[in-house]
Structure 1
Amino acid sequence: MSHASQTADSREQAKPDAVTKANRPGSHWFATLRLHLANTFRLMIKEMRSIRSDPIVLMLVAFSFTVAVDAATGASTEATNLSVAVVDEDHSDLSRRIADGLTPPTFKSAVEITAAEADSAMNSQRFLFVIEIPPKFQEDVLVGRQPSVQINVDATAIAQAFNGMTYIQNVVMNYVTEFITGREGLSGEPVKMVTRVKFNPNLKSAWFTSVMQIINNLTMLTVILTGSALIREREQGTVEHLLVMPVVPAEIMFSKILANGAVTVVAAGLSLALVVQWWLGVPIAGSIFLFLAGSCIYVFTVAALGILLATIAATMGQFGLLSIPVLLVMMLLSGAMTPMESMPVWLQYLMKVITPTPHFVIFAQNVLYRGADLSIVWPQLLATAAIGSVYFGFALHRFRRVIFSS
């Protein structure tokens, strides 16, 4: 037999082996997965380069996670440096003690005015509170007549008015109780109240607003960046280039979600470490890495929402107008600004079903404030992932129908 015939026979014998290797269970699936991952990675690099070449986007991200977080702490609702006046018609030892008890930093030094000046002083916004102590106040207290102290409040500043009124009531009650027990020789109050504040001992609003501002900015930027990336390609006509490439819609969506989500998650992590912890001095009780891991799940969810909104809008202007009410509802009714317990019960359940933000706010507060671990916060992560899968599925359906079928 010639050498050529032997070579041909060996090739024929090798063919079944090659076919067998190609048809092995899982080999085709693994090759397809590698191809999808490679395409997604290349598309993600394209998105990252697009973000890098846009200085406005970079400035927006930097501003949102630095200056905006720091500025949010300035909008404090705490009762601080409140202007107060006292109309002392008793001029007794007890009335002077009450006036002297209104001390900084909660109040400015109390100013004594006459009863005729009270209305004009409040109308001109000189004072937020005017306390009127009636004549024979100390005498009535000693004989048990229960006299009234009038507190006039300028309620146009509602948060400071409510907190300051509570502080004034406590000051008056404490000094009256101390005065009575001292005169009657009592050992003290019958019940001693001991208050221990956990997770925020000094009741500083900056500890709350700074972290919640990061969550709000994470939500807003992820939706805007992801949705605008798709709208920009549609307006510039570069989406047609993707249509002729050997890629599938899921790869395009994943690339945009991963690229824009990575930018916002990294920015949020740096803001938490540098702005919140270092600059503002807010202590973080839990694991930052657990928070960032949960942020990745949340970012995936809201990024899918951004693509969904981009498939509904045709231009950048329409996308902006559509995003505003969606983002406002998500942030205002998430528990990040006001407690969810203050909302109607049906609205609480509705928000927890249709949006992931309430679950992520609970997750972030448990991890960063209370030091919770994964065994405690996994229900919130699971709920966020479930809502994200629904968002992604619906967005993928819209993406195929609107982009690939156009």
Structure 2
Amino acid sequence: MRQGLANLWQLTLKELWSLWRDRVMLCLIVLSFTGMVYSAASAIPDTLSHAAIAIVDEDDSPLSQRLAAAFMAPQFSPPQRISVAEMDAGLDAGRYVFVLHFPAGLQSKLQTGKPAEVQLNVDATRMDQAYSGSAYVEQILQLEIRRFLQKRQDEPREAATLALRARFNPALEKTWFSSVLQIIDNITMLAIILAGAALIREREHGTIEHLLVMPVSPVQIMGAKVLAMGGVVLVAATLSLHGVVRGLLDVPIEGSVGLFLFGAALSLFANTALGISLATVARSMPQFGLLLMLVLLPLILLSGGATPRESMPVLIQYLMLAAPSTHLVRLGEGVLYRGAGLEMVWPQLLALFLIGNILLWVSLRRLRTMLTQMN
């Protein structure tokens, strides 16, 4: 027993030393848990954020001034008042995404019940902001006009109004969601890549034959790769969570980081075992890369982070319950976003434990078969 643990320790150190000498893999780890996390949180927002808007106000009435003041941060930048002659030039130069044109007599027409038109000019080359921003502008205009007319005409207000309250993310900040989700995706991705690449690297360099003549078992060979690569990814994820997410992006973490990292460690056992299984199928690094494309894309896109599981076909929902990434996403959202405790996330922890053991058993069998064929 003591000799087996000593062999496992030495093999783990060998894996860590091999990774340290692989500069490309080290750069991938650093970039994944720093630049990719930061860019996913702040590069291209899904929601409207500080869109440039200008106002052409030919009415210059209390209503038009009220409408102009309704466009506020964080969805819009402070509106700029321009003339009709500056409108097209500003859009052509890309200074504005939206230009609102309030015609003369707007307030008087609305107060007398006559139809009135407000022109919205959109720079559609900025597709994301133009698509979502047009709906924002329409909603704001309709709401403010209705409130103004009710106040002026002393009309009865609606019997019921919708009071919207967003829990866990009151300002609907995309940064809070995407940064943590990117760390979860990177845990899955790098665990599979590092473990599989470590085995293929040994086969390509011929060092796997050296292990076959040593007094080590397949369990120790596989255990060393799982511990070394899983440990590196876990440490990198911890540093990214505290340094990038909490420090640089200032994202609040509601729950226990330790509980999340415990779940991440369980998923790492499963994902590193999956990476070793793929490496026993592939005969070279290019083949391993092709297999990664077939495996990683479903694991990340269908895990419930990029798309809600409720929006997927029922068959896909059930099939993805066999993937460790699905349970890690649910656990991460519950713990880090909602502050859930062990009593809430124990089903995900149990699922990760069972899936990890199954994948470890399958990978060990495949590794033994591969080593037997090489003897």
Q: TM-score range by the shorter chain?
A: 0.7 to 0.9
Gaps of 5+ in 2: none
Partner of 2:351: 383
Q: Could you tell me which of 320, 323, 341 is aligned with 1:373?
A: 341
2:41 aligned with 1:41, yes or no? no
Question: Residue by residue, what CA displacement relative to the aligned partner does 1:27-65 show, whole Å, maximum 9, x if unpaired?
Answer: xxxxxx555434323322221222233344333322322
Q: Could you tell me which of 219, 232, 243 is aligned with 2:188?
A: 219
Q: Mapping of 1:222-301 within 5 angstroms?
A: 222-301=191-270
2:35 aligned with 1:64, yes or no? no
What secondary structure, in the 3-state scheme, does the structure 1 residue paired with 2:42 have? coil
What secondary structure, in the 3-state scheme, does the structure 2 residue paired with 1:395 have? helix
| Distance verdict in 2 for CA 1:105–1:296, change over 3 Å | closer
Q: Is the 8 A contact 1:87 1:115 kept in 2?
A: no
Amino acid at match of 1:67: G
Q: Could you tell me which of 150, 167, 170 is aligned with 2:139?
A: 170
What TM-score does the superposition give when structure 2 sets the normalisation length? Answer: 0.88
Amino acid at match of 1:326: V
Partner of 1:13: none
Amino acid at match of 2:284: T
- Cα offset, 1:211, TM superposition: 0.7
Partner of 1:343: 312
Q: Of the two structures, which has the highest relative contact order with CA contacts closer than 8 Å and spacing of 6 or more? A: 2
In structure 2, distance between residues paired with 1:341 and 1:36 = 47
Partner of 2:332: 364
- Cα offset, 1:217, TM superposition: 1.5
Question: Residue by residue, what CA displacement relative to the aligned partner does 1:105-135 show, whole Å, maximum 9, x if unpaired?
Answer: 43232454549966x8767755433445566
Amino acid at match of 2:363: A
Q: Is the 8 A contact 2:87 2:99 kept in 1?
A: no
Q: Mapping of 1:295-310 within 5 angstroms?
A: 295-310=264-279
Partner of 1:102: 71
Question: Residue by residue, what CA displacement relative to the aligned partner does 1:87-113 show, whole Å, maximum 9, x if unpaired?
Answer: 656554423432343344432324545
- Cα offset, 1:360, TM superposition: 0.6
- Cα offset, 1:372, TM superposition: 0.8
Q: Could you tell me which of 45, 51, 55 is aligned with 2:19?
A: 51
- Cα offset, 1:228, TM superposition: 0.8
Q: Is the 8 A contact 1:243 1:404 kept in 2?
A: no
What TM-score does the superposition give when structure 1 sets the normalisation length? Answer: 0.82
2:46 aligned with 1:77, yes or no? yes
Q: Is the 8 A contact 1:100 1:110 kept in 2?
A: no
Q: Mapping of 1:301-340 within 5 angstroms?
A: 301-340=270-309
Gaps of 5+ in 1: 1-32
Number of residue pairs matched by the alignment? 372
What secondary structure, in the 3-state scheme, does the structure 1 residue paired with 2:170 have? coil
In structure 1, distance between residues paired with 2:248 and 2:86 = 48
- Cα offset, 1:363, TM superposition: 0.3
Q: Is the 8 A contact 1:39 1:251 kept in 2?
A: yes
| Distance verdict in 2 for CA 1:286–1:50, change over 3 Å | same
Sequence identity percentage: 45
Q: Is the 8 A contact 2:102 2:119 kept in 1?
A: yes
Q: Is the 8 A contact 1:153 1:161 kept in 2?
A: yes
In structure 2, distance between residues paired with 1:188 and 1:292 = 51
| Distance verdict in 2 for CA 1:222–1:149, change over 3 Å | same
Amino acid at match of 2:41: T
Q: Is the 8 A contact 1:102 1:110 kept in 2?
A: no
Q: Is the 8 A contact 1:89 1:133 kept in 2?
A: yes
Q: Is the 8 A contact 2:270 2:324 kept in 1?
A: yes
Partner of 1:4: none
Amino acid at match of 2:31: F
What secondary structure, in the 3-state scheme, does the structure 2 residue paired with 1:404 have? helix
In structure 1, distance between residues paired with 2:284 and 2:247 = 41
